[in-house]
Structure 1
């Protein structure tokens, strides 16, 4: 539940006088400890959202239920999460709507899955595919901790999208597809078969090389509209009296987004009227269709098995503390 007084099992975000954030899960009789003292969970249980509680040191802490954007940045993670600035654009530009059937690959730690589940609602379907079982377990636990129960619209399949998707859905029955994976161009054929005419495919990729290859592959195989691509940069502002200026730090490049729409069967996209930029396909242009890819090629750090085991334990322990709010997730 996302409203009402704080209850045991609720996650609460505490903000100290210096603006530092601490996320806790409420348990009767427990204390939240810092190096200067403690704060009693019982002082929060039964209190309204947005209350201020006194620390044993005398400092006042603001207590709020964390927003989804807060939760995904503090939850246990086995893989890098899609940041809220990108997740919000994926939901908007892919036009994820209540009741939609959405396919997602890969799941990672489940950050984007939470936004997609919020968008499709109880009456929609989110079919998520993840190659690694440990990542899938972490994602399920994170979702259970956030919603308080297993979301009725969510199905997680451990396996390869290309092999598993045709066995999961009928052709032409999927409304939207979201790909956050190493080589999304390998999935264009199977995704194209699953999408309804006019359905949206949105890809999240980390490098310009990936971005180019997705676009060129889509043009070559046909059946797709002209790709649209962009990135977003978010800069916060410092607001204090007359001191109104940009923050010294900003959320810079995290990834690129690319959207395509599925054409009707036996339909070809109209030819582009603009000319390619000079040198776009010159002698230096080399297709990379046969190149093998790895996460290390993109600068990603390999996650150790030991760290993944610890993250899975933390996520499942947090999920186990949550209280089942009931059969409906409408208020989530």
Structure 2
């Protein structure tokens, strides 16, 4: 980056406009549509089996330029969009795909100036979308249990925004233990949970949220979805949860051959959202009757019928499946959820590469 870069707020329009500068990540597209991401450094070269091009030919060039390598191959050079960057950036944990990040920003109503709590931060993919939405005058308080993941996330954010974003604070620690010491009760606008067991955080989240505040959780499996939904109902301080998933299918466009692509972004995760009720308010009783057989009757009592703490004094009950609550807490591991966990060696390599890049800038 130029010498004046540190005085420019991270994430400002400057970092997305103007000519290419030293230290920027640039996306190159070859004639076959393949993408290559490079970080511009004076004197460096980008090599393929078909020649090479010099970084110096890109430094100072405008966004959207075409450069030719030594073998005559043309490359289109563009600043990567956030969605492009997320899919190609170094990662320790699995990232939240852009299709889900967009849903989270919209359905959780993330607005400029909002105070947002996020856990866990992973590789920082969702964090960058949240920072874009809240702007420099909002606050994003991210919590991550693993220090190495937190460092990778901060490194990715620093590389994309051109510096440390002024609205972002990353805390290494458990959300339940750290959140009460970080924010006052009833001061958080939105909470986003991307973790294995979000139901463990409901009490802490409820204390932190303002009345009407939104909680949205991103989970990978139906067992997690069921358990967090029942946890929200059992808590008694939230509205009836709503859950969904999104599927994205691209289209092939070539002349008259316009058809769906053979590949698509199918299931990546489920989203479930609810809103914080005002203190002491009892949620309205659900009037929709469950399907027959969804809750077996044993000795005249419907299995799965439960009472919320807020409604217990009024004698109200709500139907719900508690099957997921029978799973031991220590069974909820990344491996059990089907996640391919990276080795410690790989995590160290990713973390080291991001640290070296930050030091060079």
Give the TM-score band, short-chain normalised: over 0.9
More RCO (CA 8 Å, sep 6+): 1
The structure 1 residue matched to 2:235, chosen from 221, 234, 246, is 221
Q: Which residue of 2 aligns with 1:305?
A: 344
Q: Which residue of 2 aligns with 1:287?
A: 323
Q: Which residue of 2 aligns with 1:13?
A: 27
Q: 1:75·1:315 contact (CA, 8 Å) conserved in 2? A: no
Q: 2:224·2:324 contact (CA, 8 Å) conserved in 1? A: no
> Partners of 1:91 and 1:286 in 2: how far apart?
30
Q: Deviations over 1:59-81 (max 9, x none)?
A: 11000000000001111100000
List alignment gaps of at least 5 residues for structure 2. 1-14, 298-302, 304-320
Q: Which residue of 1 aligns with 2:81?
A: 67
> Partners of 2:251 and 2:355 in 1: how far apart?
37
The structure 1 residue matched to 2:273, chosen from 256, 259, 275, is 259
Q: 1:15·1:21 contact (CA, 8 Å) conserved in 2? A: yes
Q: Superposed, which structure 2 residues align to 1:310-321 within 5 Å? A: 310-321=349-360
> Partners of 2:165 and 2:294 in 1: how far apart?
46
Q: Superposed, which structure 2 residues align to 1:125-144 within 5 Å? A: 125-144=139-158
- Larger Rg computed on CA atoms: 2
Which deviates the most, 23-32 or 76-85? Answer: 23-32
Q: Deviations over 1:250-309 (max 9, x none)?
A: 000000000000000000111112111222222686534352221111111222111110
In structure 1, the residue corresponding to 2:262 is in which secondary structure?
coil
Residues 1:270 and 2:306 aligned together = no
> Partners of 1:44 and 1:306 in 2: how far apart?
34
> Partners of 1:275 and 1:215 in 2: how far apart?
17
TM-score, normalising length: structure 2: 0.87
Q: 2:214·2:273 contact (CA, 8 Å) conserved in 1? A: yes
Residues 1:179 and 2:211 aligned together = no
Deviation at 1:321, TM superposition (A): 4.3
Q: Deviations over 1:25-55 (max 9, x none)?
A: 1111211111111011111111110010111
Q: Which residue of 2 aligns with 1:248?
A: 262
